[in-house]
Amino acid sequence: MHHSSWNRKCEYVLNLGYSSIFYMINNLYILVGSPLSGWISDRIVIDYKRKRGYWYPEDRLRACLYSCFLPLTVLASGLVTTYLPTRTGLILNLVCLFINGIGVRFAF
């Protein structure tokens, strides 16, 4: 039994190079997302302290509102994986994972 129809659907093969890209994206969003979420959290605290004259520790939680796009990135990743089985789909999937990772950094 020959499975050539599956090979036509999936034009890329995940070799060691492609799988290492996924690990690099994981580390990249940690390197970018952590300082970015800290900076945005600090800006929110400064703004509320200026507005009210004091700040609550809970004001830092307002930065979590920026993670509301997490379901959209997961949906986009699923749609890209389903309908773009090419290298372009792989690149767009990596972009979705990167944006998702930054959103996770904002949430936690």
pLDDT at 13: 57
Q: Is residue 3 part of a domain?
A: no
Q: Is residue 55 part of a domain?
A: yes
Count other Cβ atoms within 10 Å, centred on residue 77.
19
Q: Is residue 8 part of a domain?
A: no
Q: Is residue 28 part of a domain?
A: yes
- Identify whether the C-beta of residue 80 lies closer than 8 Å to the C-beta of residue 93: yes
Residue 28: pLDDT above 50? yes
Residue 16: pLDDT above 60? yes
Structural domain containing residue 97:
15-107
Secondary structure (DSSP) of 28-78: HHHHHHHHHHHHHHHHHHHHHHHHHSS--GGGGGGGGGGGGGHHHHHHHHH
Confidence band (pLDDT; 50, 70, 90) for 101? confident
Answer with the residue of higher pLDDT: 90 or 2: 90
- Identify whether the C-beta of residue 98 lies closer than 8 Å to the C-beta of residue 69: no
Q: Is residue 102 part of a domain?
A: yes
Number of domains composing the chain:
1
Confidence band (pLDDT; 50, 70, 90) for 10? low
Residue % of the chain over a pLDDT of 70: 83
Q: Is residue 88 part of a domain?
A: yes
Q: Tens digit of pLDDT for each residue in 65-98?
A: 877 888 898 899 889 988 887 888 888 988 888 8
Q: What is the pTM of this model?
A: 0.66
Q: Is residue 6 part of a domain?
A: no
Q: Is residue 53 part of a domain?
A: yes
